[in-house]
Structure formats: C-alpha cells, structure tokens
Amino acid sequence: MGTLGRAIYSVGFWIRETGQALDRLGCRLQGNYYFQEQLSRHRTLMNVFDKVPNVHKDAFVAPSASVIGDVQVGQGSSIWYGCVLRGDVNSIHVGSGTNIQDNSLVHVAKSNLTGKVLPTIIGDNVTVGHNAVLHGCTVEDETFVGMGSVLLDGVVVEKHGMVAAGALVRQNTRIPCGEVWGGNPAKFLRKLTDEEIAFISQSATNYANLAQVHAAENAKSFDEIEFEKVLRKKFARRDEEYDSMLGVVREVPQELILPDNILPNKSPKPSQIG
Amino acid sequence: MAAALARLSRRTLADPSRLVPLRRLLSAEAAAPAVSPAAGPPLTPSDRVKWDYRGQRRIIPLGQWVPNIAVDAYVAPNVVLAGQVTVCDGASVWNGAVLRGDLNKITVGFCSNVQERCVLHAAWKSPTGLPAETLVERYVTLGAYSLLRSCTIEPECIIGQHSILMEGSLVETNSILESGSVLPPGRRIPTGELWAGNPARFVRKLTHEEILEIPKLAVAINDLMQSHFSEFLPYSTVYLEVEKMKKALNISL
C-alpha cells in the first residue's frame, strides 16, 4: 500500500470512528428503548449434555433449523428451514433420503417412564410436509406425512402409508400399508393407487435434489455471495426477444446455472408435487 | 473470579496454535467445501458448521432467481425467502414465515400480509389447469400457521389461522376461509362465500358489510406493519460485533 493509500485508510478510519460515535450518541438519545443487535446465537446443531446429534455429511440442514440432542440423520436427508428436531429426552432417528419440510417439529415422548419408551423413528425416503408435528411416533420407509398433520404418541405409519394434509392422528393408531388417513381425528379414507405409491418415492428423490441446491447456496461464504450478486447484476435476465433482436447472446455464468434436476422442464420425470 | 477466568481464556486464545478449531468455527470459509455438490468434496461431519455466526440469511437466491422485496414491504428478520419470491409494496411477512419459491413463483400482492410461521411453497405443476405458482393478490390476510402450496388467492380474501390450501386451489374475490380449514387439491371457493372445516365446506354467503370489512382488516395490519417496519434501520450494526469478535480472537479481517 502506498503512502496515499495509507493516508486514505486512516482518514476512512477516523470517519468510521465518528460514525460509531454518532451511532452511540443516537443510542444514548433513544435512552432505555434502544436495542443493540447481537450476533446470531442460534445453533443449528446442539448437544444436550452428552447427547450429540449425528448428521450425515451429505444431509442438508438449513441454518435456521435446530437439531438438538440425540438425533441421527442419514444420508441424503434434508431438514428444511425453521424445523425443530428436539431429541432431548429420547432419540430421534431419521433415515436416508428423507425430507422434513419447513417449520416442522419432531419431538419424543417421556423416556423410560412406566416402562414406555417412545423414540421417534422416521424411515428412509419419507416425505414429511410443511408444519407437521411428529411426537414419539414411528414412520416407516416410503411414507408420506402431509402438510400440517399432527402425529401423536405411539402412532405407527406402515410402509407406503399416507397421512393426508391437516390430519390429526390420535395416540397409538396404526396406519396400515398403502392406506390414506385424513381428518380430525384421522380416519381411513381410501387405498393408495400404485401410481401414488410410485409418486411418494419420486417426491423423496425430487426433494433430495432440491436440497442439494439449497445446501450449496446456504453454505456460501460472504465473498462468494457478494461475487454472485455482482454476476447476477451483470447478467440480469433481459427479455429474450429483446436480446435476440439485438443479436445478443448472453452466456449465463457457471455459478448461476442451477442443476437440471430442479428445473421442471429439464427434469427426467416431473411429478405433481415437488 | 470471573475476571481472572476471562484473563486466562484471553491468554489461551492469544496462542495461535490452539486457535485452529475456533477459527474454523468462526470463519465462513469453513463451509466453503460444500459449495458445489457435484464438484467439491462433500462435508465431513466434523466440518459441518454447528454455529453460523451470520444466522440464517433472509434472502436466499437460487441461480438467477433472486427474491424481490419492494421498498415499502416489511419482511421480518427471521423469514426465509428463497428463489422466485416477490413481495409487493405494502405487503408484510411476519416472523418465522418461510416463502420458498424454488420450483415456481410466489407473489405476495399489494397490502397483503403473511402472518407468523406461514409456509408458502409452490409445486411444479398443479392438477388443475391453473399455473402452479402461488399467487396472493392484494388485500389478502393470511392467518398464522397457514400453509399455501401452488394456490391462487384473488384480491380481498381472508384465510384463517392453521388453514391448509393444497395444490391448485383457488379462492375467489371477497371470500373468507375459517381457521383450521383444509382445501383439498383443485378446490375452488366462489366469490363472497364463507367456507370452513376439514375438508372445507360451504357455510354461508357473506353479507355486504362483512365484504367491506375485509380490506379494512388488511389495511389495519398494514398500519401495524408500519410501526414494525420503522423499528428496523436499513443496515444492521452487527458487523461491528463481528469485527470486535474477530479482533478478540486474532482473526485477520
């Protein structure tokens, strides 16, 4: 750095100090009402004494999710924004390829009281919809728990079972293989068709792909975020007709291209629900 | 006693050789190996960031899609907007909501509000012929904990708390959905009606007075939003905290 650079640097430093002094003055004037912002103290993964969450390296855990205590998350699973997996009194096991969508809550029931142990076990390739509440239940492989549904203690959803959106499944209910239950309290509605059963596993793979994109985006450092912001500004999507009229071919930079598997027209097999 | 402990820990931290794990925890670059799932080596469990000092980012761009917030709109700090999300003028998105437009567009219209812990998501395509984007038009009130997926809500509606709207459902102008109602895929609620239940059923027609009340509620929430909005300065001062902490831990800025 040259002498001029150093001089400008120190001038900048003085002005910043002045700014901070002004900030403090403003806070002083606000008196008791002012609130000082702090660093985020939210912990995505947290221990409870000796219970350590064990998350597979390929799983996606959103930074705003909380995974607390004795939780195991398998390969290719995704825990989306705002989820809470609280394994503080008992264990939670999430299989591989499972997705637990935004704002869901998974908790466990009293451990070893009156001989009852109710860990929460979620199998492989399960889709748990937004805002679902799973409390001390067992959800087997390739099941579908709809949006906003509530599963109470001791519920078992057998393989290929489905809980419809907004259902409340009462204690110790067993949802047999290949059935749809819905309502409050949940009742048997109908049998699943083979197509729908195929859709459940398709939905899980779709979500696993989607999770990879989100994981990559959320893991970016500050510099990368700023870099891509600039790139995006530069390559802002103009009207395609406008571009072709001018004969401009815009090459989208590598960083801004999403993988094919989440774009609807490029995906191998799009399905109803993402 | 506490002061002595602090001094001791300060001394331990001054030793650079012991600082490596701490530095990794603090630096955002620790997460960098996960950037491209195809190319880079995947995260090993030890490398996973357990505490990101930046918290959750509010705006998550995906590829070329950047969420777009109008200048007049209030979006609470712990909301997550990802992908193709547009929040129009005068709209408010309250705490804990998640708007995830990774497969399709999500629009929150003028003066609408999305209350606490709502989830708005869009599917690839809807079973009805409607476009699969989630469209919330102007003067719509979405109650707390409501769930919208690829549905269209026309102007001046009220969606009660805990209600669930599934793929391809359509709520027409001036209708009200009671709290806790569930709209199955492809259901349409005609103009000026009140629906409730799981699955939602017709209850009654709305009176003229009630219809006039709907935009008033949205405007009232808009007023409330203004007071929250004015509480936030355009830039936060957390970077000062980060600088202070990095200095305390001898990490070069």
Task: Assess whether pLDDT exceeds 60 at residue A234.
Answer: yes
Look at A147 and B166 and tell me if their CB atoms are within 8 Å: yes
Q: Report which of residues A35 and B23 the model is more confident about.
A: A35
Interface test with A, best of B57, B119, B146 (most A CBs within 10 A): B119
Look at B241 and A62 and tell me if their CB atoms are within 8 Å: no
Let me know: does B121 contact B136? Beta carbons within 8 Å: no
**Pick from B48, B96, B98: CB nearest A55:** B48
Nearest chain A residue (CA) to B104:
A264
Q: Tokens 């009176």 — which residue? A: B207
Mean pLDDT of chain B: 82
Domain A45-194: give its CATH code: 2.160.10.10
pLDDT digits (tens, 9 = 90+) for B188-231: 999 999 999 988 999 999 999 999 999 999 999 999 999 999 88
pLDDT digits (tens, 9 = 90+) for A140-178: 999 999 999 999 888 999 999 999 999 999 888 999 999
- Listed residue (A168, A203, A235) closest to B103, CA to CA: A203
Let me know: does B179 contact B143? Beta carbons within 8 Å: yes
pLDDT band at B17 (very low <50, low <70, confident <90, very high): very low
Q: Is B241 helix (H, G, I), strand (E, B) or coil?
A: helix
**CA–CA min distance A113, chain B (Å):** 32
The span from the CA of B81 to the CA of B70, in Å, is 13
Instruction: Flag whether residue B182 sits within 8 Å of chain A, measured between CB atoms.
Output: yes
Instruction: Flag whether residue A16 sits within 8 Å of chain B, measured between CB atoms.
Output: no
Which class is domain B55-241?
Answer: mainly beta
Domain boundaries defined on chain A: 45-194
Domain boundaries defined on chain B: 55-241
The span from the CA of A44 to the CA of B56, in Å, is 10
- The DSSP line for chain A is --HHHHHHHHHHHHHHHHHHHHHHHHHHHHGGG----------SEE-BTTB--EE-TT-EE-TT-EEEEEEEE-TT-EE-TT-EEEEEEEEEEE-TT-EE-TT-EEE---EEETTEE--EEE-TT-EE-TT-EEES-EE-TT-EE-TT-EE-TT-EE-TT-EE-TT-EEPTT-EE-TTEEEETTTTEEEEEPPHHHHHHHHHHHHHHHHHHHHHHHHHT--HHHHHHHHHHHHHT----HHHHHHHT--PPPPGGGPPPGGGSTTTSSS--S--
Task: Assess whether pLDDT exceeds 50 at residue B23.
Answer: no
What ipTM describes this predicted complex?
Answer: 0.83
**Pick from A20, A103, A225: CB nearest B98:** A103
**CA–CA min distance B38, chain A (Å):** 9
pTM over 0.90: no
3-state secondary structure B172-203: CCCCEECCCCEECCCCEECCCEEEECCCCEEE
